[in-house]
Structure 1
């Protein structure tokens, strides 16, 4: 809350004492103050506007040649508490405009004329709020005259978009209630109409314009369609649409059964899907944890070749390998006939050889053996 003196950088002009002169003062809503010279033109005393709109509070004046003092224009608003001082909204003094310091009105109030001293002190308020509602006073002062007018501003809140709903079962023969509700400056009235080619309501419908309800009795399929609710107050209107679908009980039951079956099938499919996912996950986990077995081939069994036979054959080959038929000729006369049928006995010095083992001559020939002459020996070991 600010006083006039707190805004001006200079002291207010001194007024002459005119108590002895004629004067007339009238109530708020009409020009008042000194009767000499200065005059404020009549204007409307009450203005209504919607929130978010702009409004002009008109204050126009005429000066007289007898008004010789500095011009001072002040717009103020009556506070909510009458005991408080008026709230300064904007003023003009010394050819300079002083904007408001009220936070809730900052940047939204200004003079309509760029030069109010030319006789137009009207006030513009933009982006109106409900808190801007109140009684505003325009005071024009130019010594020795001073006049004031008052204008009541009422900011109305537009109806919000209504909320439409349906109560009751939408079946043939049932009673149904359509509801509509909106927020805004009261009073708000509600008007129901029917969408489509015909806006007439059903013959059994009863509407309440104050509560916003529409009651439809003994509904039939002909009552199906769109219903429009329009909410109005003194400055604006808003609407909503609700759809009404009247069905028979059997079709309604079939619809419910279909919905139930669809839900059950969906749940079954969901359960199967979840089970499959967990089964796959468990299988992968098992395969990762199970080690792989690396098996070696069984070695082939060793050959069971007789050591004695191998030794015998190898020994004979080594013993007879250096002998040839030509080399054996000298031995035929000294050692007697060559044994070609059988080898009767292996040398005694061959260890681990079975003495009774005999190899036939044909077998030795096939094995590549060469016949040799074995000299005769005495018992004492000398060669005969």
Structure 2
């Protein structure tokens, strides 16, 4: 049975009325570095037939279909709710009022653990729409180090190494020369996946500063190293010089030891000679007894002289009397004074009187 024209018109008019729809977006897969922020887009429109309450639900889709999805944040009854503790204080709705058609969320301070597939689901009875967005959080290369292996001598082969201790794989490496010709040495080979640059037959032209760039999808890091190619040194001459220098040093030390021992022996010998007692040498005579004997022996002669002949005799003999103070060396001159004794006391003590003639200034006897 054919439908009346009025019924057909009603069906066509109801079909033309818009229902709940999600605004198209080009977000399918997003890549971000750690520490950055991301906005997951989910805008929608509603139709006149969508008269139910609005519910928005964001979930992290489980990688295993046997597990349940992890609910993250939701909007219901006009209020937002954060459910997933892993994103607590890091996720919120982009709009202060998602009911106006913007169910997008922002995630700040991204971590590598945030990598996954996120699903936005908007419900307004009778309409229901959903969308999935993939998010990959990468760690940028960091702590990149450069080094050169091998002796930097002209003609040698060298290996330039570059590596990052942090960064999400895959990492690629690139080397550049910053000085001189600013091009890598001819014939050098670079492994971009390991950062190893092999340089054959190094020459003076290869000297300069080199920079390495470590890259991945979300960032890069760099380091620098300096190459100073120098000629080969005369190793034989260096060894010979070292040997000669060592021998000379040993010879000098030997001479010093020899002279030191010789000097020590000489000092020891002199000390022994000074303390040696000679048994075959007679002890020295006392000068005091000699002088007194001399004076005593001439006493009788002086006493028997008459005034007439004493003048010539006294001059010849008196002047010959030894003077102890004059003959004695300065070091042996006594530093004491004999006590004065009276004449009578001297006679009682057995002293013999001696007459010493007086002299004038010119030495003549008065």
Superposition pairs of residues 185-334 of structure 1, within 5 angstroms: 185-196=168-179, 198-250=181-233
Total equivalences in the alignment: 227
* Contact 1:204-1:218 within 8 A present in 2 as well: no
- Distance in 2 separating the partners of 1:131 and 1:236: 18
Distance 1:135 1:252, change over 3 A: farther
* Contact 1:36-1:144 within 8 A present in 2 as well: no
Q: Which SS does the other structure have where 1:146 is aligned?
A: strand
Deviation at 1:100, TM superposition (A): 2.9
Asked if 1:85 is matched to 2:39, the reply is no
Deviation at 1:197, TM superposition (A): 5.0
2:113 to 103, 127, 131: 131
* Contact 1:54-1:124 within 8 A present in 2 as well: yes
- Other-structure match for 2:286: none
Give unmatched runs, 5+ long, in structure 2. 1-16, 246-366
- Other-structure match for 2:82: 99
Give unmatched runs, 5+ long, in structure 1. 1-34, 262-384
Distance 1:118 1:222, change over 3 A: same
* Contact 1:36-1:145 within 8 A present in 2 as well: no
- Distance in 2 separating the partners of 1:255 and 1:85: 76
Distance 1:178 1:141, change over 3 A: same
The runs of at least 4 consecutive aligned structure 1 residues that moved more than 3 Å come to 251-258
- Other-structure match for 2:273: none
TM-score by length of 1: 0.55
Distance 1:255 1:98, change over 3 A: farther
- Other-structure match for 1:63: 46
Answer with 202-211 or 121-130: which moved more. 202-211
Deviation at 1:255, TM superposition (A): 10
Superposition pairs of residues 107-146 of structure 1, within 5 angstroms: 107-146=89-128
Q: Which SS does the other structure have where 2:123 is aligned?
A: strand
* Contact 2:70-2:84 within 8 A present in 1 as well: no
* Contact 1:100-1:109 within 8 A present in 2 as well: no
Deviation at 1:211, TM superposition (A): 1.8
Asked if 1:40 is matched to 2:32, the reply is no
Q: Which SS does the other structure have where 1:161 is aligned?
A: strand
Which has the larger share of helix?
Answer: 2
Q: Which SS does the other structure have where 2:173 is aligned?
A: strand
- Distance in 1 separating the partners of 2:23 and 2:54: 17
Q: Which SS does the other structure have where 2:233 is aligned?
A: helix
Deviation at 1:241, TM superposition (A): 0.3
Asked if 1:51 is matched to 2:34, the reply is yes
Answer with 39-48 or 65-74: which moved more. 39-48
- Distance in 2 separating the partners of 1:213 and 1:254: 36
- Other-structure match for 2:161: 179
* Contact 2:18-2:46 within 8 A present in 1 as well: no
Deviation at 1:254, TM superposition (A): 9.5
Deviation at 1:154, TM superposition (A): 1.1
TM-score by length of 2: 0.58
**Root mean square deviation of aligned Cα:** 2.6
* Contact 2:180-2:208 within 8 A present in 1 as well: no
